[in-house]
């Protein structure tokens, strides 16, 4: 990747990382909570616009900065670790499939979100087993709890990406390969 390309993606990564810190604050302030996955929306959107290395940066920086400034997601129970794992997986998959492989946004989102839900299910399954909770109940509950957020992501990101492509094509311009 050329240096100019990297420099072009740094502001996008910073913008979407910042939105990933601000969105959860707003969602919690108005009482919508974490069921809408407010940190995921900007991280996934940003990951669709940048190469995988920058998508990884967005996925790591966003929850860590959010934790440092707001204390959320919390360290214990290990929600911060879970969110980091989920965001890393979702951002790398999204960026690779859309930015590199040029798959449609719908296929990318469905693939990334299915893998994310699988990671969540397995992580909560292990945690529930560790803490002596009913494993399947907690795992399935965690997956279902995020369905409003998944629906919101599927409703918001495709038209938002289309808007950016139509209105600001220089923002979504891919590297010459």
Centre a 10 Å sphere on the Cβ of residue 148 and count the other Cβ atoms it contains: 15
Centre a 10 Å sphere on the Cβ of residue 53 and count the other Cβ atoms it contains: 13
List the chain pLDDT tens, one digit each, 177 residues.
566 677 889 999 999 999 999 999 999 999 888 899 999 999 999 999 999 999 999 999 999 999 999 999 999 888 999 999 999 999 999 999 999 999 999 999 999 999 999 999 999 999 888 888 888 888 999 999 999 999 999 999 999 999 999 999 888 777 654
DSSP 12-71: HHHHHHHHHHHHHHHHHHTT--GGG-TTHHHHHHHHHHS-HHHHHHHHHHHHHHHHHHH-
What is the phi/psi pair of residue 38, to 5°?
A: -65, -25
User: What domains appear along the chain, each with residue ranges and CATH number?
Assistant: 3-167 (1.10.1760.20)
Q: In whole angstroms, what is the distance from residue 84 CA to residue 61 CA?
A: 9
Amino acid 114: pLDDT: 97
Amino acid 177: pLDDT: 47
Token digits for 24?
């959860």
Amino acid 1: pLDDT: 54
Amino acid 6: pLDDT: 78
């Amino acid at each position: 990747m050329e240096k100019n390309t990297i420099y072009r993606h740094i502001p996008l990564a910073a913008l979407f990382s910042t939105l990933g810190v601000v969105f959860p604050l707003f969602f919690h302030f108005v009482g919508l909570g974490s069921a809408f996955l407010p940190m995921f929306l900007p991280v996934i959107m940003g990951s669709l616009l940048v190469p995988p290395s920058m998508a990884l940066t967005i996925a790591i920086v966003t929850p860590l900065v959010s934790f440092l400034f707001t204390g959320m997601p919390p360290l214990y129970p290990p929600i911060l670790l879970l969110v980091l794992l989920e965001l890393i997986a979702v951002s790398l998959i999204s960026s690779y499939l859309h930015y590199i492989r040029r798959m449609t946004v719908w296929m990318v989102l469905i693939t990334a979100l299915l893998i994310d839900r699988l990671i969540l299910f397995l992580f909560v399954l292990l945690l529930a087993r560790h803490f002596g909770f009913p494993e399947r109940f907690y795992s399935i509950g965690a997956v279902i709890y995020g369905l409003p957020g998944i629906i919101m992501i599927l409703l918001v990101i495709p038209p938002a990406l289309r808007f950016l492509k139509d209105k600001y094509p220089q923002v979504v311009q891919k590297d010459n390969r």
